[in-house]
Structure 1
Amino acid sequence: MSVNRIMGIETEYGVVRRGDVYANPMLMSSQIVLGYRDAFASGRRARWDYLDENPLRDARGFELQRASAHPSLLTDDPSRPAPSGDSDEANAGHIAVQEQERPRHAQYEDPGAANVILTNGARLYVDHAHPEYSSPEVTNPIDAVIWDRAGEIIMREGAREASALTESDMVVFKNNVDGKGASYGTHENYLVDREVPFGNIVRALTPFFVTRPVYAGAGRVGIGQRGEIPGFQLSQRADYMEAEVGLETTMRRPIINTRDEPHADRDRWRRLHVIIGDANLFEFPTYLKMGATACVLWLIEQWGDELEIPQPIASLELRDPVASVEAVSRDLTLSAQLPLVGGKTASAVEIQRTYIAAIRDERSRLRLHDHATERLLADWESVLDDLVRDRASAADRVEWAAKLQLLERMRERDALAWDNARLAAFDIQWADVRPGRGIAAKLRAAGATRDLVTPEQIAAAVTAAPTDTRAYFRGGLLEKFPSQVVGASWDTVILDVPGSETLSRIPMPDPARGTREHVGAILDQAGDVAELIAALAR
């Protein structure tokens, strides 16, 4: 299999209070998160477990000193130094239970750090003055679409509850720019074999990420970080990418992020943290970018620990990757030639086709055949063909193409220049997640988008976790024993067993364990958490 792997999406949403340009975004974000918690998860007050987190470890083999780190990097508990993240205690093959000392005093709950762990395995919290939805771990790109779309409903309902509570009108937007110079992220995460040299990941993925916006871009009115140049471009994140490789996520943003925080057994895996992508309202680009990235990672893993990248991928090395990000995003014809290190040039579409061919060749060599991967490769190739042949024919699958098509109609009908404020307002309204308000949502309702999942699947994913990852165990515990789950993270759950002198901490270093097949019967049969822990120990 090459399209399947552990993956997930984190999305920071834009938030405004209509009629109040001075509204505090951090306060609004907290109100949205707590509004959702109080309305739909009032009995679930589990804290986020920061014990194993270390956002300062770099995949290049060092750890940034906390005193030298920009505050935006300190995503662990701000009340104490970044922990070591050691995982010697964790056993990747079993679910073990460890004793943890109870806090001696009630822990202060900072309203500015609002956090909710959901029964669908996701995390809803405040990150850098934005409400963020981090999806549960899934194993394939279709499920990535389902639980990402579920996040839109959760965020929308949180904003509705916060609006009612504050007697105001809060609106959330699934986009990446505010039109005033700020950008907020949509981060993808992929579990990767730790034995793969990180240098191979950098060299092989850089041309792929630089050119991926041709089918994964959400489109943006305005060029430059503040939109100071009139025009339209493919990607909302392009103007904010300023480095090739680095640890930062909110300044000097890199094409390849080096955060080495696997949220899993670090001896076996690393987590590739991708910050270059756009937030997509269309389902097809989410499916395609997640599936295509998974396939490229599979190809890289086939090279093992060899330090030399084979052809034809080696020939794709870009002479100036950062400049090429900008060039791809601003090239509406998809014909711009990007300079390569060897002296040749190639267009973004040609580079993407090279990846498809290399993956197919490797799969043929290994005699691999599976429907999900073959479908992904066919969809990937088809959308590239349609974009080159007739951009309008791809507008049902490519978000930037659909957005541009409608904008061009507005410009032609009303003789509007690209610096007209109505076009900028259209761009913002595109990402409004309120029912009947967002333009992308209206296109879906009109049948103008090629959707891949059903409304019923999305609605179910609002409360139910994926059954084939550890998210099932996390979500199941929150559903069945909400008052006994006192803390959790991606790779731990902390339970309060009545009568016990200590808390019970359950490490989950293997994302493929804790599935319904693995623990479903134990969860179903346990009458209380004491019975659950006893069953896990057997």
Structure 2
Amino acid sequence: MIESAAGALTRRIMGVETEYGISCTLPEGGRMIPDELARQMFRPVVEEHASSNIFTSSAARLYLDVGSHPEWATAECRSITQLLNHERAGDRAIDELAVRVERELGPGARVYVFKNNVDSIGNSYGCHENYLVRRELSLKKLGLALVPFLITRQLIAGAGKIYRPFPGSPSERYGTGFCVSQRADHVWEGVSSATTRSRPMINTRDEPHADSERFRRLHVIVGDSSMAEPTFALKIGSVLLVLEMIEAGFPLPEVELANDISAIRDIARDTRGRTEIPLTDGGTITALELQERYCSAAEKWLEIRDPAEGGTPPEELTRIVDLWRRMLTALDSGDFRAVDTEIDWVIKHKLISRYRERLGIELGDPKLAQIDLTYHDIRPGRGLYSTLVDRGLIARWTTDDAIAAAVGTPPQDTRAALRGRFLDHARTVGAPVTVDWMRLRVNRPEPQVVQLGDPFAATDPRVDELIAYMDAHATDYRPTP
């Protein structure tokens, strides 16, 4: 029986963690190694905060991850467009660090920040999605319903790349070709508690960053970083709808793939979604057919969905499903003109194909590899993505003004508003504080701690008391003459 579609079923907290690749060229052909570049990028952060792991005024987390990857984890968001704005604010924050290094190094130095998922020697770095779900929803149920969807989601929201096999890699048998996904070759399990040793599609580590009796965090680590805003919206929005249907008990495809890892890698190399995927019951299904079933379910779900106050507006979810449907129609027909300004891998495939024909070169040519990489350069006015947007060849979903507002302002309808307000006040009076996703702590003169277990709560009198405590002791924080 389908549960009521109101209330908690359509209330969702979401967040995205994005790791960036970095590179630096120096005058006269020199280069700076990523380790050194990362340290120089984060030097002003460390000088100000005595740490390379901080929370910003927008309540996001900015830090230097292992492997010399700058990372931006958005604040808690309630809607798809809100999340998109705060994810793009991360691009601006990281690029600002890169621009500062260029100024320090002088004329001729170029610092590049790439929002992609694979470097030139095959190392992978991630874009992780976080969705708050109810504690009573079992991970087994989530996994059974979500893994087949996530394996095939790359068809509608992949970043795309030219694949060149590395000797000894499991995917060496495919040879050079175009992949719809960058992460497909770098996951090893469907559901697991690991993150790096054997990357799963869904990470089960029980770290809700919220009241653990009420909530759990669904941590999806199989998705590609998105450049095109509509791709990002579809990537997040499709999962949002599938989660709502799972929680409501709405009918969804009941399939179990015989080999998740083989399937995700085979699908990545099929730009029409026609690959037959073996099922555990002995049958087969194509990736396109499976996505069609999920999309059809989402269309029916929207007809009965009763939205809660806040969250993603119904008209925005209608846009999501419209793009989803148009993408599936394009896959079926082979005519991608209806989506070739909205879906990253389609945009990139079209671009690479045109250059390949114009130059008369093979897919493995370094010129095409450079085009592939330059698409992910986040610098406005320099990156290929930015150039295509300016020419009207990539569609927008949000606005520059909305992104600019998200750079310094947290979402006002989640716990992030409390964190941002607390941090701003602490910096104003110079109070020594410690902050994480759930806790706000004034360190002296006597430690005062507030734990925020409800990520939906944007107001809390206890935080008002913390701020009053900082004000009362403002003179204690002034430097001694």
Both proteins in one fold, TM over 0.5 = yes
| Pairing 1:313–2:313 present | no
2:269 pairs with 330, 338, 354, which one? 330
The aligned counterpart of 1:285 is 231
SS in 2 for 1:259: coil
Mapping for residues 254-265 of structure 1, pairs under 5 Å: 254-265=200-211
How many angstroms does 1:386 deviate by? 3.2
Two-structure CA RMSD over aligned residues (Å): 2.7
Mapping for residues 11-30 of structure 1, pairs under 5 Å: 11-19=18-26, 23-30=32-39
Alpha-carbon distance in 2 for matches of 1:471, 1:264: 12
Residue identity in the other structure for 1:206: V
Alpha-carbon distance in 1 for matches of 2:105, 2:433: 28
How many angstroms does 1:340 deviate by? 2.0
How many angstroms does 1:21 deviate by? 7.5
Structure-2 change in CA distance of 1:224 and 1:136 (3 Å) = farther
Residue identity in the other structure for 1:124: L
Structure-2 change in CA distance of 1:230 and 1:287 (3 Å) = same
Q: Could you list the runs of 5+ residues in structure 1 that have no partner in the other structure?
A: 46-108, 304-309, 533-538
Residue identity in the other structure for 2:25: R
Contact 2:162–2:177 (Cα < 8 Å) also in 1:
yes
| Pairing 1:235–2:176 present | no
1:379 pairs with 299, 323, 330, which one? 323
| Pairing 1:189–2:114 present | no
SS in 2 for 1:120: coil
Deviations 1:198-229 (A, max 9, x none): 10111110111000011210111114467963
SS in 1 for 2:225: coil
| Pairing 1:10–2:17 present | yes
Alpha-carbon distance in 1 for matches of 2:81, 2:20: 22
* Higher relative contact order, structure no. (Cα contacts within 8 Å, ≥ 6 residues apart): 1
Between the aligned residues of both structures, percent identity stands at 33
| Pairing 1:210–2:162 present | no
Contact 1:258–1:273 (Cα < 8 Å) also in 2:
yes
Alpha-carbon distance in 1 for matches of 2:343, 2:11: 22
Structure showing the higher helix proportion among its residues: 2
Residue identity in the other structure for 1:7: M
The aligned counterpart of 1:99 is none
| Pairing 1:490–2:437 present | yes
1:267 pairs with 199, 213, 233, which one? 213
Alpha-carbon distance in 2 for matches of 1:257, 1:233: 24
SS in 2 for 1:293: helix
2:384 pairs with 439, 443, 448, which one? 439
SS in 1 for 2:454: coil
Mapping for residues 352-431 of structure 1, pairs under 5 Å: 352-362=291-301, 364=303, 370-389=314-333, 390-431=335-376
| Pairing 1:35–2:19 present | no
Deviations 1:456-512 (A, max 9, x none): 000111111111111111111222321225211111111245xx3x21111111111
How many angstroms does 1:448 deviate by? 1.5
Residue identity in the other structure for 2:141: N
Contact 2:418–2:463 (Cα < 8 Å) also in 1:
no
Alpha-carbon distance in 2 for matches of 1:485, 1:301: 42
SS in 1 for 2:72: strand
The aligned counterpart of 2:397 is 452
How many angstroms does 1:392 deviate by? 2.9
| Pairing 1:471–2:408 present | no
Structure-2 change in CA distance of 1:138 and 1:409 (3 Å) = same
How many angstroms does 1:323 deviate by? 0.6
Deviations 1:123-154 (A, max 9, x none): 11111121111111101111111111111111
How many angstroms does 1:313 deviate by? 2.0
Normalised TM-score (structure 1)? 0.78
Contact 2:23–2:111 (Cα < 8 Å) also in 1:
yes
Deviations 1:90-143 (A, max 9, x none): xxxxxxxxxxxxxxxxxxx5xxx6122100010111111211111111011111
Alpha-carbon distance in 2 for matches of 1:318, 1:147: 35
Alpha-carbon distance in 2 for matches of 1:125, 1:220: 27
Alpha-carbon distance in 2 for matches of 1:252, 1:185: 13
How many angstroms does 1:530 deviate by? 4.7
Structure-2 change in CA distance of 1:452 and 1:531 (3 Å) = farther
Structure-2 change in CA distance of 1:488 and 1:425 (3 Å) = same
Residue identity in the other structure for 2:340: A
Alpha-carbon distance in 2 for matches of 1:223, 1:449: 26
SS in 2 for 1:413: helix
SS in 1 for 2:433: strand
Alpha-carbon distance in 2 for matches of 1:364, 1:444: 34
Alpha-carbon distance in 2 for matches of 1:368, 1:138: 16
SS in 1 for 2:337: helix
Alpha-carbon distance in 1 for matches of 2:13, 2:146: 18
Alpha-carbon distance in 1 for matches of 2:46, 2:412: 23
How many angstroms does 1:356 deviate by? 2.5
Alpha-carbon distance in 1 for matches of 2:438, 2:181: 33
Alpha-carbon distance in 2 for matches of 1:438, 1:117: 27
Moved more, 25-34 or 231-240: 25-34
SS in 1 for 2:317: helix
How many angstroms does 1:248 deviate by? 2.1
How many angstroms does 1:250 deviate by? 2.1
SS in 2 for 1:5: coil
Deviations 1:250-293 (A, max 9, x none): 23211222221111111111111111001111111111111111
Alpha-carbon distance in 1 for matches of 2:166, 2:392: 33
How many angstroms does 1:337 deviate by? 2.0
The aligned counterpart of 1:100 is none
Residue identity in the other structure for 1:279: S
Normalised TM-score (structure 2)? 0.86
